[in-house]
Amino acid sequence: MTPFMIIARCLLLAAVFSSGSVLAQAPDSAPPLASSATTILRAARTVFIQSKSDYMNREALERELVKHPEFNQLSLLVVRDKRDADLVLEIYRKKWTTRFTITAIDARTRTLVASCQESSIGGDVEPKLAKCFIKQAKAARTQTDTPAPKP
């Protein structure tokens, strides 16, 4: 086999494999992205809680969220399987501080849609984090999207 034939076969194989991957990534198969963080937060129905701190109890935050009437009024549910969640609530605590940060991330696109901080001084932090998230979710549900100004 000549070097020319080897190169021709390699090019042919590359063309076949690259066209297959292009077909696999057809634009119709990709779900459309939401237009804004508010839209994502408004559309969310399920949340998964992921604690990234040993000082925060995931189950306590779940209890605090579920017992709030506003959480139920927003038609939100806590799920235990991350794959079933619309939003992932990640909780962090910076070392040597009492500040906890809760971030709401779209599970599909990994887009940050909400975030706030609370302190554990004066009691448990879980009720404060629950109230903080509910406040932001409620604001997103009552807020209307305003069209972007035209240049």
In angstroms, the CA 68 to CA 123 distance is 18
CATH 3.30.160 fits 37-142, yes or no: yes
- Whole-prediction pTM: 0.69
Provide the residue ranges of all domains of the chain, joining segments of one domain with +: 37-142
Q: What confidence tens digit (pLDDT) does each residue in 51-93 have?
A: 998 888 899 999 999 999 999 999 999 999 999 999 999 999 9
SS3 of 106-143: the string is ECCCCCEEEEEEEECCCCCCHHHHHHHHHHHHHHHHHC
φ/ψ (deg, to 5) at 32: -70, 145
DSSP letter (8 states) at residue 27: T
Residue 37's Cβ-count burial label (10 Å; 0-12, 13-18, 19+) is middle
